[in-house]
Amino acid sequence: MQTTNLHTAWARLFVRALARAGVRDLVVSPGSRSTPLALAASREPLLRCHLHVDERVASFVALGQARATGRPTALICTSGTAGAHWLPAAIEASLTGVPMVCVTADRPWEAYDCASPQTIDQRDLLGDHARHHAELGTPNPSPHALRAVGRIAAQCVHRARWPLPGAVHLNARFRKPLEPVRTDAPEAWEPLVDALLEAPPTRAYDAALTPSPEALADLTDALRTARRPWIVAGPTLTPDAAENARLRALVDALCARTGAAVLAETTSNVRFGLSSETVALPSFDALLRSPAFRAMAAPDVVIELGLPPTSPTYATVASELRAPRFVVAPHGWPDPHGSATGVVLGRPVDVLAALVTALDGRSPDDDTRAWGDSLKTSQQKALHAIGAVRDESVWSEGVVAHTLIATLADDDVLCMGNSLPVRDVDTFGDAARGAVRVFHQRGASGIDGLVAGAAGVRSVTDAKHLVAVHLGDISALHDLGGLNAARVVGGPLAIVVVQNEGGRIFEQLPLGRQAAPGTELGEHFAQLFTTPQAVRFDHAAAAFSLGYARVTSRDALVHALHEARTATAPVVIECVVEPTQGRDLRDRALAAVRSAL
């Protein structure tokens, strides 16, 4: 065995280059083959190192960090199947444009294809879900190889950000000895390594994506003649609080010029904080279920911002629209209906700013104002109808959603779970809120890593603001390892688990509507779809030294959230509701809206 510290120097060059390229948070999972990388990360003063033993959890922590900061977070793991646990998070990063640098330590080439332990083919491990693949190779003392280490690291950070943000994968091979060793004399390569560690890095200047002038002209022409325009905001693709505040201000300004109605879901970061003068329709999913409202509100031009909205009702309406519909997003092709008039690539703030400038001096005519007033009246009727039904329910999923939104303060953070929580907040949440920051995993819309993702957000968010994650019991059980990640983060974190005994989202499907309790189909439905689990969340919280509160009323939830705001450890708040009441409440609320309209 050769005695050299080249592997240690090689890892230091790589990690230093990551930090110089803009990485500030690095999540590492323990392992032997990654020893040089882990030690180098712990010595790098520009990095905050976060240790998480479960690679799947670690990847969602990194995803949450990168989503919250907008900067690439780096991941390090050992060889073998460890990096395979990153795939779900890498998929989500790919679909929502979240930058991550995924570094797998690997064994040297001679260990491949010979039954060497903890050795798999790690090349292309993340497949097409990675924006870029790189091989760092085994440490080599040649000057050209040593200089290449920093370049490859900088390229990975650059490719994680541009032209399409997402996960990149780098494979780094090491031979033993993996730990630092004593050497009898200085090694020949040491002066060059020392110089490279101190040399200024090559800076990558990312190019800005400028919206097409032709697209802006077409949008301006469409809005200039529009009398009933819609601005539809789906899940946002930007984490920046300042940019989202500017987005809301631009939406207000464009509405002042055009009289547009705003259909914004919670995950858009547009729904909360709009001007009272803007025609805002936060209950648009319920409203669009009314044929009378659809006929009265029918748009003559639609501008969609971000990812497609969660609302299945809007999806139906969008697929049937005859009006021009333009989709605006910084990347991708977010038009599952295949009927958009145009896909405008660019930051929504840049597109809206150009439209506001181009339409300066324009104001809506009397017919548009009257149309907007009618929409506002319908929205108030919907809010009243939903509120009356919700208030009849002493305790339910809808009450949990409403109470949570009403209790959050300005600049608090809400991490949205998928399935029912994201829909319940849209249906029952109070629209008259300040600027709550909202994060989501609506790219793949899965239940993977929701607690770990919230822990990642918490770890890079100002501790004076509460971070709350709203999810169902099955999602929480799917990510029990995330509780261990929550255990080590600083700052207040409320893990609000809606305990409704299973995946009640399936009750909304046609099969769920047919599966009456007590019937054979109902029994199969419970076994295969709702899948209630007899798990004690109080015991789970205790296992990870977290706080716990079991709540069964509005007042108890408000109290638990206030306690979580000042607690020294994250708190699991289990909201125990009647399992079958949620669907009934939603059905009655939607029926009340239809009746009111």
- Mean pLDDT value across residues 505-523: 83
* Average pLDDT taken over every residue of the chain: 93
* CATH topology (fold) of 6-178+186-198: Rossmann fold (3.40.50)
CA gap 558, 435 in Å, rounded: 19
Phi-psi region of 531 (alpha: psi -120 to 50; beta: other; left: phi over 0): left
Position 430 scores a pLDDT of 76
Residue 279 confidence (pLDDT) above 80? yes
Position 431 scores a pLDDT of 59
> How many helices (H) and strands (E) would you count in the chain?
23, 18
Q: How confident is the model at residue 582 (pLDDT cuts 50, 70, 90)?
A: confident
Position 285 scores a pLDDT of 95
pLDDT tens for residues 343-375?
999 999 999 999 999 999 999 999 999 999 999
Point out the least confidently predicted range of 51-55, 389-393, 480-484, 505-509. Answer: 505-509
Residue 290 confidence (pLDDT) above 60? yes
Residue 229 confidence (pLDDT) above 70? yes
CA gap 297, 285 in Å, rounded: 13
Position 433 scores a pLDDT of 61
Share of the chain above pLDDT 90, in %: 79
Contact 8, 180 (CB under 8 A): yes
Position 553 scores a pLDDT of 95
Of the candidate CATH numbers 3.40.50.970, 3.40.50.720, 3.20.20.210, 3.30.470.20, the domain formed by 393-596 belongs to 3.40.50.970
| Domain assignments of the chain as residue spans, ordered by start | 6-178+186-198, 213-382, 393-596
- Angstrom CA distances, 419 to 237, 502, 552, stand at 19, 11, 21
Q: How confident is the model at residue 196 (pLDDT cuts 50, 70, 90)?
A: very high
Q: How confident is the model at residue 183 (pLDDT cuts 50, 70, 90)?
A: confident
For domain 213-382, the CATH superfamily is TPP-binding domain (3.40.50.1220)
**Tokens standing for 217?**
């002209």
pLDDT tens for residues 3-59?
789 999 999 999 999 999 999 999 999 999 999 999 999 999 999 999 999 999 999
Contact 54, 448 (CB under 8 A): no
pLDDT tens for residues 120-163?
999 999 999 999 999 999 999 999 999 999 999 999 999 999 99
- Mean pLDDT value across residues 87-115: 94
- Mean pLDDT value across residues 445-455: 95
Q: Mention every residue, 6+ apart, whose C-beta is less than 8 A from residue 29.
A: 51, 52, 53, 54, 55, 58, 75, 76, 77, 78, 82
- Mean pLDDT value across residues 466-471: 97
Question: DSSP characters for 375-408?
Answer: HHHHHHHHHHHHHHHHHH-SS-HHHHHHHHHHHP
Cα end-to-end span (Å), the chain: 80
- Mean pLDDT value across residues 499-526: 84
Q: Mention every residue, 6+ apart, whose C-beta is less than 8 A from residue 445.
A: 418
Residue with tokens 């601005």: 231
**Tokens standing for 213?**
């002038």
Question: Strand pairing of 301-305 and 279-280?
Answer: unpaired
Position 391 scores a pLDDT of 85
Position 511 scores a pLDDT of 84
Residue 543 confidence (pLDDT) above 90? yes
Task: Identify which of 87, 133, 138 has the alpha carbon closest to the alpha carbon of residue 111.
Answer: 138
Position 202 scores a pLDDT of 86
Residue 584 confidence (pLDDT) above 90? no
In 220-372, beta strands by DSSP E: 229-233, 261-264, 279-280, 301-305, 325-329, 342-345
Structure letter (DSSP) for residue 187:
-
Q: Mention every residue, 6+ apart, whose C-beta is less than 8 A from residue 396.
A: 390, 577, 578, 581, 582, 585
Q: Mention every residue, 6+ apart, whose C-beta is less than 8 A from residue 575.
A: 400, 496, 497, 498, 499, 551, 552, 557
3-class DSSP state for residue 344?
A: strand
**Tokens standing for 226?**
């529009």
**Domain 213-382 shares a fold with domain 393-596:** yes
